[in-house]
Structure 1
Amino acid sequence: MKLLLIPPDTRPPTLAHPLQLARMTGAAVQVPPAEALPNFFTPGNTATLRTWLLDHAAQADTLIVCLETLCLGGMIPARRVSDGLDRVLERLNVLREARALNPDLHIYAHGVVVRVAHDNDPHEEKEYYGEWGPGLRAYSVAADRHARHGEAERDALTAARAALPPHILADWVGTRERNRTLHLHALDLLAEGVLTHLSVTLDDTSEYGLAALDRRMLEARADELGVWARFDCYPGADEVPCALLTRALRRGLPPARAWVRYSGTLGAGAGLIYEDRPAGELVRAHLRGAGCVLADSVAEADFILAVNTPGLRQANLQPDWATVDTPHRHLPAFVDTIRADLEAGRAVSLADIAYPNGAERRLWTLMQPLSLAELAGFSAWNTAGNTLGSAVAFGALAAQVSDKAAHAEAMFSRVVDDVLYQAYARAEVRAHLGSPSPYDLGEARADAEAKLQELITPRIQAVWDRHWGGSGLKLELGQAHLSWPRLFTGVFPLSVSHTGETG
């Protein structure tokens, strides 16, 4: 299979990770030139992307495309640029042209409902969000509450609107409306048969807010068009290329069946910080997003999805004994089930969603006696949705792995980022810097990267030696650095090859 991928941006989770998943199955993936893709909040070149797509469409089997990159220059630029709707829809029309060039081309598209950011980031959002973020969040909640509950919420909405400069509110809402219209037109392409599948996900969402209102409008349009068999709408964002890659690579096969094991008996009901639904419903949504289904029994399952949920609800700082590490779950027993599944020869993919933005350190410690190299998948990065999307892709593709070294590279890359960096080294680098800005490290970036390299390089080698040292594979490390001028995303270049190969 020959695939084309137009990703949300160039961070490792959105670009390198899906490429690794494809490579472990033997699939070939082409991506646009780096200069055409977005870099942080700098938009990609939509004209170059159009040319690249039309040049390659005729020879491809599958296109996986982020609508925000194709039409607005990237997932983050889509929240910031002022491009008019006419230009955006003109760029969308290139998908019709690509299908005309190659009627057999399968197009898997995804878009992201504009988030209502939880913090006051002036770089990933409009610049004015640094000052007006709290007021815009309050308006978002009030507008959705009014839409759902009617006149009883009118006074709160009026007050929230009055607290904001009219031009700020108009610009912010107008950006949302433009992007929502893009997604509605993508639904039309789905109904016409131009798209094979469409996923519109919700980034950093919550129970109330304008993202929920957008979701209901999209769902209503899907009802009208009758496209639910080929449409998904659920919380997620950066992991969607992995989900759609899984759909593409399993096209023509029966849906992969997953047996879900939670770390607590009430795990399906656990609350999440960046999603609008409990863990069990999020699991079901991500399984469907990747074309998978729940198995009726362990015996018939194609893979085990082991999900480490918080006892009651996620918390940001660990250890948290109030809502995460509570008597509502028993981690030693959870690890015992993983060990038993591995000993029984089952494919096990582990999704650690107890805390956002990194693995749970206690679980990591308990897992050390296991042979992590035997896992089919591992994920613990960013939001619960990001983690689940990666873990489901690993599990669903387990039976198609044809390159042991490529699988180890994909797995170990997640361990390095999700555990060694996000759960440990990131906080240590932050402490070394003092109190750096979470939005832009500025001149402190070089110091941060030097400290990161000092801390993490020996740890990477130690974990490799412990869990993959007897695998007959060879690890080669590049120099760790940061993806953007902030600590949130690290880059850890590594390659895994069979002993005697050159990487």
Structure 2
Amino acid sequence: MPRLLLVPPDTRPPTLDLPVSLGRMTGADMRVPPAGALPHFFTPGDTDALADWLRAEGGQADALVVCLETLCLGGMIPARRVADPLDTALRRLEVLRELKGRHPKLRIYAFGVVVRVAHDNDPHEEKPYYGDWGRELRAYSTAFDRHARHGEGERAGLDAARAAVPADILADWLGTRERNRALHLAALDLLAEGVLRHLCVTLDDTSEYGLAAYDRRMLEARADELGVWDRFDTYPGADEVPCALLTRALREGLPSARAWVRYSGTLGAGAGLIYEDRPAGELVAAHLRAAGCVPADSMQEADFILAVNTPGRRQANVQPDLATVDTPHRHLPAFVDALRRDLAAGRAVSLADIAYPNGAERRLWGLLRGFPLAGLAGYSAWNTAGNTLGSAVAFGALSPLVTDRAEHAGALFSRLVDDALYQAFVRAEVRSALDRPSPFDLGEQYPQAEQELRDRMGPRVQNLWDTHFAHLPLEFSVQPARLAWPRLFTGVFPLTVREKPSA
């Protein structure tokens, strides 16, 4: 039984519980730091406690999957907010070199996240001033990158964008980015030295132009210099990377998992995405590579089918969108029919629904009403297209290794509950029941929101189990739902799936 250590970006279910379940379904002994050492929302974790935990656990582990921001700056969100200097972050990074020196057989898979340029004026996931100056900072980000790429013809736009932001705020915001970029460049050096087995530095909420794209080019140039592309990936993603690197760790020594990609439309690979800088097909290719997978040359030789529900032409935020998503560029009934045939033929199918960000497409979910959902190898439809794809790829690539059927069913059922029932339906209902709640902080409406969540989710969760999973030799129990943070974006739906006791 392999033993894997995981230092996640935070404690939300998709970033902590999901990778732990994916590991356990293959029989792995998954170890995570004590809760008090991990970040909660924008409160940093205890970096000293994390280092001590790694020193204590490293000698008994086969592999470590570690978020650089958690280890060095207290968490993915705290890394955008804390004032810790670069030399402090780099000193904390040195624990990885120490671990590798003490335990040469320990395989270390690390990931970092390029500081995002948030689409929303969120004063909690970003520094407080972002709530007032987010629009202007985004404009500066775009103007800077346009100037960097296209030269002096973009100078006037850059000057205007710089003048629109108070100098002290701009300097602080850019300083945070520069510190984190330096941390990622130092991680690339560790990769070149052999301390790290694989490194992913991903781009969260990115776009074609912006400071994230500028940072990516700097990372790519350094990777060129070091010659580490066989062990390095940089692409749009963030929260799902623990699943990708866990997949690499668990499949170490095995042939690369081969994926046959089935899109919901013939032009699906070219579909545009809202929070990524490339079309769907290129994003799929990046996520397959990050998890150590390769495209299959034929469906017959594939280890799993990655079924991707793409928008007709481009993602949209509001359902239904008849202009760009639900168009004649795809035919969902034929897509579902093909998935039925795949399952009937005994193929492992992992479904990634990226037609809309932040939850399942309601039309597709309706078509899946009579579908054998419990037969899927995986399902994902959460947050960005990258978050969804990375999770679905991990489900599919690990499906041949599953030894604990109850753990797999629990991981699959949890995603169906969260990504479809909550994200696509109940979250909007809860929002409507409240009095114009802030998307960033529910404030005094927090208790009411959680009560609405419990009342609305309980019957739906039970019905989903009874309809699709009750025929299996499994039993499940569920605890009351709650919110991960004081906002509606992420729900927590604690459930346990076990094998039924023998008669």
Structure 1 position 104, deviation (Å): 0.4
Q: Which residue of 1 aligns with 2:436?
A: 435
Work out whether 1:319 is the aligned partner of 2:320: yes
Percent identity reads 73
Q: Which residue of 2 aligns with 1:343?
A: 344
- Give the distance between the partners of 2:204 and 2:434, measured in 1 at CA: 29
Amino acid at match of 1:8: P
Amino acid at match of 1:223: D
- Give the distance between the partners of 2:435 and 2:394, measured in 1 at CA: 38
- Give the distance between the partners of 1:252 and 1:500, measured in 2 at CA: 35
Q: Which residue of 1 aligns with 2:294?
A: 293
Is the partner of 2:325 in helix, strand or coil?
Answer: coil
Q: Which residue of 2 aligns with 1:29?
A: 30
Is the partner of 1:234 in helix, strand or coil?
Answer: coil
Q: Which residue of 1 aligns with 2:423?
A: 422
- Give the distance between the partners of 1:29 and 1:344, measured in 2 at CA: 33
- Give the distance between the partners of 2:316 and 2:436, measured in 1 at CA: 21
Q: Which residue of 1 aligns with 2:498?
A: 497
Work out whether 1:357 is the aligned partner of 2:358: yes
CA-to-aligned-CA distance 1:210-260 (integer Å, 9 cap, x gap): 000000000000000000000000000000000000000000001000000
Work out whether 1:203 is the aligned partner of 2:209: no
CA-to-aligned-CA distance 1:433-486 (integer Å, 9 cap, x gap): 031000000111100000110001010000101100101110100110000000
Unaligned 5+ runs, structure 1: none
Q: Which residue of 2 aligns with 1:136?
A: 137
Amino acid at match of 1:110: F
- Give the distance between the partners of 1:333 and 1:435, measured in 2 at CA: 40
CA-to-aligned-CA distance 1:124-168 (integer Å, 9 cap, x gap): 001000001011000000000000000000010001011111100
Amino acid at match of 1:185: A
Q: Which residue of 1 aligns with 2:69?
A: 68
Q: Which residue of 1 aligns with 2:480?
A: 479
Q: Which residue of 1 aligns with 2:125?
A: 124
Runs of 4+ in 1 over 3 A off after TM superposition: none
Structure 1 position 369, deviation (Å): 1.6
TM-score scaled to structure 1, two decimals? 0.99
Is the partner of 1:93 in helix, strand or coil?
Answer: helix
Amino acid at match of 1:41: F
- Give the distance between the partners of 2:438 and 2:406, measured in 1 at CA: 38
- Give the distance between the partners of 2:52 and 2:249, measured in 1 at CA: 23
TM-score scaled to structure 2, two decimals? 0.99
- Give the distance between the partners of 2:26 and 2:435, measured in 1 at CA: 44
Structure 1 position 406, deviation (Å): 0.4
Is the partner of 1:39 in helix, strand or coil?
Answer: coil
- Give the distance between the partners of 1:419 and 1:369, measured in 2 at CA: 15
Q: Which residue of 1 aligns with 2:262?
A: 261
Unaligned 5+ runs, structure 2: none
- Give the distance between the partners of 2:435 and 2:207, measured in 1 at CA: 31
CA-to-aligned-CA distance 1:374-426 (integer Å, 9 cap, x gap): 11010000000000001000000010000110000000000000001000000
Is the partner of 2:64 in helix, strand or coil?
Answer: strand
Q: Which residue of 2 aligns with 1:330?
A: 331
Q: Which residue of 1 aligns with 2:243?
A: 242
Amino acid at match of 2:169: I
Q: Which residue of 2 aligns with 1:382?
A: 383
Structure 1 position 370, deviation (Å): 1.4
Alignment of 1:456-475 (within 5 A): 456-475=457-476
Q: Which residue of 1 aligns with 2:451?
A: 450
Amino acid at match of 2:279: P
- Give the distance between the partners of 1:70 and 1:148, measured in 2 at CA: 33
Amino acid at match of 1:50: A
Amino acid at match of 1:497: R
- Give the distance between the partners of 1:222 and 1:293, measured in 2 at CA: 21
Work out whether 1:91 is the aligned partner of 2:127: no
Is the partner of 2:312 in helix, strand or coil?
Answer: coil
Amino acid at match of 2:303: D
Structure 1 position 500, deviation (Å): 2.2
Work out whether 1:392 is the aligned partner of 2:393: yes
- Give the distance between the partners of 2:104 and 2:340, measured in 1 at CA: 47
